[in-house]
Structure 1
Amino acid sequence: MMKIIFTLLFIIVYALQGIQAQVPKPVKLTIENGKIEGFNDDEQHVDKFLGIPYAQPPVGELRWKAPQPLTDWSETRDTKKFGPTPMQADVFGDMVFRSEKMSEDCLYLNVWTPDSRKKNAALPVLVYFYGGGYVAGGSSEPRYDGASMAQKGIVTVTVNYRLNIFGFFAHPQLSEEAAYKASGNYGLLDQAAALQWVKDNIKAFGGDPDRVTIAGESAGSISVSSQMASPLSKHLIAGAIGESGAAIKPTLAPVSLEEAESIGMKFATTFGYYSLKELRKASTEEIFEKYKKSGFFGFPSVIDGYFFPKTLPEIFKAGEQSQVPLLLGWNSAEIPGMAFMQGQPYTDEAYIKNVKQAYPDTYEEVLKLYPHTSEEEIALSATALASDRFISYSTWKWFDLHRKHSDQPVYRYLFSQIRPKAANEEKQPIGAPHASEIPYCMGNLYLMDEFNWTDADKKTSAVMQQYFANFIKTGDPNKGDLRKWPAAKPEDGTPPVMIINADSKGGRSSK
Structure 2
Amino acid sequence: MDKLTILFAVVLFLRTASAATLGVVQTEGGRVQGQNIPLGPYRSMDVFKGIPFAAKPELLEKPKPHPGWDGVLEATQFADKCLQIDPSHTFSIGTEDCLYLNIWVPHGKQLSSDLPVMIWLYGGGFITGSTTDLMFDDYLYSGQEIADRGGVIIVSVGYRVGTLGFLSSGDSGLPGNYGLWDQHAAIAWVHRNIRSFGGDPENITLFGESAGGASVSFQSLSPYNKGLVRRAISQSGVALSPWAMSKNPRKVAEQVAEKVGCPTDEMMVACLKSTDAEILTIAAPQIQYGSPDSPGILSLLLLPVVDGDFLPDQPTNLFHNTADMDHLVGVNNMDGHIFTFQDIPSIGNKNQETPEEDVKRLLAAYTKEFGQAGFNVAFAEYSSTWESPPSQENIERTAVDIATDSSFLVPAQTAIYLHADNAGSGRTFSYLMTEPSGLGGPGRPFNYWLGSDHTDDLQYVFGKPFAVPTLYGDRQRDLSSYMIAYWTNFARTGNPNKGGLKVPVVWPEFTTSGHLFLDINAEMTDGSIGQDMRSRFVHLWSSILPSLPSDMNKAV
Would the TM-score normalized by the shorter structure come out above 0.5?
yes
Identity across aligned pairs (percent)?
27
Determine if the alignment matches structure 1 residue 30 to structure 2 residue 22: no
CA gap 1:190/1:385 in 2 versus in 1, 3 angstroms:
same
Inter-partner Cα distance in structure 2 for 1:289 and 1:171: 18
Which residue in the other structure is 1:264 paired with? 253
Unaligned runs of 5+ in 2: 134-138, 289-298, 348-352, 535-556
Deviation per CA, 1:228-259, whole angstroms, max 9, x where unpaired?
1101113311101010111215131244xxx4
Inter-partner Cα distance in structure 2 for 1:242 and 1:425: 26
Give the match's secondary structure for 1:232: helix
Name which of 386, 402, 427 aligns with 1:372. Answer: 386
Inter-partner Cα distance in structure 1 for 2:48 and 2:326: 29
CA gap 1:354/1:445 in 2 versus in 1, 3 angstroms:
same
Deviation per CA, 1:34-60, whole angstroms, max 9, x where unpaired?
1001010113711000000000001xx
Inter-partner Cα distance in structure 1 for 2:373 and 2:343: 18
Inter-partner Cα distance in structure 2 for 1:273 and 1:108: 31
Inter-partner Cα distance in structure 1 for 2:483 and 2:162: 32
Name which of 472, 478, 497 aligns with 2:491. Answer: 472
Give the match's secondary structure for 1:55: coil
CA shift, 1:356, in A, is: 6.6
Letter of the structure 2 residue corresponding to residue 166 of structure 1 = L
Determine if the alignment matches structure 1 residue 507 to structure 2 residue 530: yes
CA shift, 1:490, in A, is: 1.0
Could you tell which deviates more after superposition, 126-135 or 27-36?
A: 27-36
| Equivalences for residues 44-123 of structure 1 within 5 A | 45-58=44-57, 62-91=58-87, 102-116=94-108, 121-123=113-115
Could you tell which deviates more after superposition, 298-307 or 194-203?
A: 298-307
Inter-partner Cα distance in structure 2 for 1:66 and 1:139: 20
Contact 1:338 1:382 in 2 (8 A): no
Inter-partner Cα distance in structure 2 for 1:294 and 1:355: 19
Name which of 142, 145, 148 aligns with 2:142. Answer: 145
Which residue in the other structure is 1:246 paired with? 238
CA shift, 1:510, in A, is: 4.2
CA shift, 1:400, in A, is: 1.3
| Equivalences for residues 406-417 of structure 1 within 5 A | 406-407=423-424, 408-417=426-435
Which residue in the other structure is 1:302 paired with? 305
CA shift, 1:392, in A, is: 1.9
CA gap 1:69/1:273 in 2 versus in 1, 3 angstroms:
same
Which residue in the other structure is 1:361 paired with? 373
Name which of 199, 202, 212 aligns with 1:210. Answer: 202
Which residue in the other structure is 1:160 paired with? 158
- The root-mean-square deviation of aligned C-alpha atoms, in Å, is 3.2
CA gap 1:405/1:254 in 2 versus in 1, 3 angstroms:
farther
Inter-partner Cα distance in structure 2 for 1:191 and 1:25: 28
Which residue in the other structure is 2:279 paired with? 286
Determine if the alignment matches structure 1 residue 400 to structure 2 residue 417: yes
Contact 2:485 2:503 in 1 (8 A): no
Inter-partner Cα distance in structure 2 for 1:454 and 1:63: 47
Letter of the structure 1 residue corresponding to residue 505 of structure 2 = R
Deviation per CA, 1:161-191, whole angstroms, max 9, x where unpaired?
000011011248x934xxxxx5200000000
Give the match's secondary structure for 2:508: coil
CA gap 1:117/1:153 in 2 versus in 1, 3 angstroms:
farther
CA gap 1:277/1:340 in 2 versus in 1, 3 angstroms:
closer
CA shift, 1:404, in A, is: 1.3
Inter-partner Cα distance in structure 1 for 2:37 and 2:204: 24
TM-score for the superposition, normalised by structure 1: 0.83
Could you tell which deviates more after superposition, 343-352 or 222-231?
A: 343-352
Letter of the structure 2 residue corresponding to residue 323 of structure 1 = D
Inter-partner Cα distance in structure 1 for 2:362 and 2:160: 37
Which residue in the other structure is 1:169 paired with? 167
Which residue in the other structure is 2:407 paired with? 390
Inter-partner Cα distance in structure 2 for 1:340 and 1:289: 24
CA gap 1:428/1:442 in 2 versus in 1, 3 angstroms:
farther
Determine if the alignment matches structure 1 residue 438 to structure 2 residue 458: yes
CA shift, 1:110, in A, is: 0.3
Which residue in the other structure is 1:331 paired with? 332
Which residue in the other structure is 2:292 paired with? none
Contact 1:421 1:428 in 2 (8 A): no
CA shift, 1:366, in A, is: 4.4
Contact 2:435 2:522 in 1 (8 A): yes
Deviation per CA, 1:386-411, whole angstroms, max 9, x where unpaired?
21122222111111110111132211
Inter-partner Cα distance in structure 2 for 1:145 and 1:248: 28
Letter of the structure 1 residue corresponding to residue 99 of structure 2 = L
Which residue in the other structure is 2:505 paired with? 483
| Equivalences for residues 415-434 of structure 1 within 5 A | 415-422=433-440, 427=445, 430-434=450-454
Inter-partner Cα distance in structure 2 for 1:294 and 1:253: 15
Determine if the alignment matches structure 1 residue 496 to structure 2 residue 516: yes
Give the match's secondary structure for 2:34: strand
Could you tell which deviates more after superposition, 402-411 or 377-386?
A: 377-386
Q: Number of aligned residue pairs: give it.
A: 470
Contact 1:339 1:386 in 2 (8 A): no
Letter of the structure 2 residue corresponding to residue 509 of structure 1 = D
Contact 1:417 1:457 in 2 (8 A): no
Inter-partner Cα distance in structure 2 for 1:416 and 1:361: 32
Inter-partner Cα distance in structure 2 for 1:225 and 1:301: 12
Inter-partner Cα distance in structure 1 for 2:361 and 2:286: 35
CA gap 1:331/1:120 in 2 versus in 1, 3 angstroms:
closer
CA gap 1:89/1:426 in 2 versus in 1, 3 angstroms:
farther
Give the match's secondary structure for 1:235: coil
Inter-partner Cα distance in structure 1 for 2:168 and 2:503: 50
Determine if the alignment matches structure 1 residue 196 to structure 2 residue 188: yes
Deviation per CA, 1:354-380, whole angstroms, max 9, x where unpaired?
657765325356434552223323332
CA shift, 1:138, in A, is: 0.5
Contact 1:26 1:39 in 2 (8 A): no
Determine if the alignment matches structure 1 residue 458 to structure 2 residue 488: no
Inter-partner Cα distance in structure 2 for 1:357 and 1:222: 22
Contact 1:131 1:137 in 2 (8 A): yes
